[in-house]
Amino acid sequence: MRLNSVEYALMNNPLRELLQRRFEARRLRRLGGPLNGGRVLEIGCGRGVGIEIILNDFGADTVHGFDLDPRMVRLAARRTARCGERVSVWLGDASAISAADASYDAVFDFGIVHHIPNWRRAVAEIGRVLKPGGRFYGEEVLEPFIVNPLIRSLLRHPLADRFDRNTFAAALRQSGLRQIQSEQLGRSFAWFTALKPA
C-alpha cells in the first residue's frame, strides 16, 4: 500500500531520518548484532536512508532495496548513487519478492510490513529469501496504533488482520524463523530480530 501525502511527508524529513539512525537502527543492532559483511535486502527502502544505515552501521557488503512507490525508488537511487555496485534499488512488492530462495544474509524491515494488506505473505517471503543462518531485523507498528481513530483519520493503513507483537512473532515462526529478541514500546511499536536456522 502506497503512502498518502501525510505519510510521505512524515517519512521524508530530517526528523524521521534522525529517529531511524539514532533510535531504531541502534535498537535493532543491539537486538541482532552487526552483520560482518554479506548480501542484504531492505524491503520498502523508501528514500534510501535505511540502505545507508545497513551499509555503514551494520557492516553489509552489498544492499538491495525495493519499494512499491516509484517516487521512493527514484529518491533512493539518487541518494545511494555514490555507493556504486554495492547498492541496487528497484520497484517491487514485499508480498512477492523478486529474488531467488535463500539469496540474502539478512533482511531489514524499517516499518513496512504493517502497510501490506497480506502481511503474512510478506513475512513468508522474508523467510523464503533468507539464507540458512540469515537474520531478520524488523521494526513494526502494531494494531493498537493503526486502529486508533486519530491515526486512521491521518494515515492510510490496511485495517483487516493487523498484528500485535505476539501475532507477528508467530508469523515469523510459521515462516521458519527463530526469534532472537523482541522489544515493545507501549502498545504501538515493536522491534524483532530472528534467525533462519542453518
Domains in the chain (CATH in brackets) are 5-195 (3.40.50.150)
Across the chain, the runs of DSSP E, i.e. the strands, are: 39-43, 62-67, 87-91, 104-110, 130-141, 178-185, 189-195
For residue 186, what are the CA distances in angstroms to 159, 160, 196?
20, 22, 28
Full-model pTM: 0.95
Mean pLDDT by 10 residues, the chain (198 residues): 72 86 96 97 96 98 97 96 97 97 98 96 98 98 94 88 97 98 97 97
Place of cell 537474520: 135
Give the per-residue pLDDT at 14.
85
Give the per-residue pLDDT at 16.
86
Give the per-residue pLDDT at 160.
93
Give the per-residue pLDDT at 73.
97
Give the per-residue pLDDT at 3.
73
